[in-house]
Chain A
């Protein structure tokens, strides 16, 4: 199927936005206070009371 050249930029931007939103829906979002300098949610220090003796 042929595409009109003027539709090409629209396709690229729409696809980018759709996949970006898909990422957000999958939960790939920064929480507040995360990711600034290494405080990602999976990178939290283990609290003292959980640490092995």
Chain B
């Protein structure tokens, strides 16, 4: 299931509650951050 599709914050809150957590902050990422995350995950999977 993809939780974070556009406008899906409510669904995300429910997921956090199911994990017995609450959202303190939520923000978008810069392209720089997205690039590093994607490349980092690819490296971890190899």
Physical interaction between A and B: no
**A interface residues, Cβ below 8 angstroms from B:** none
**B interface residues, Cβ below 8 angstroms from A:** none
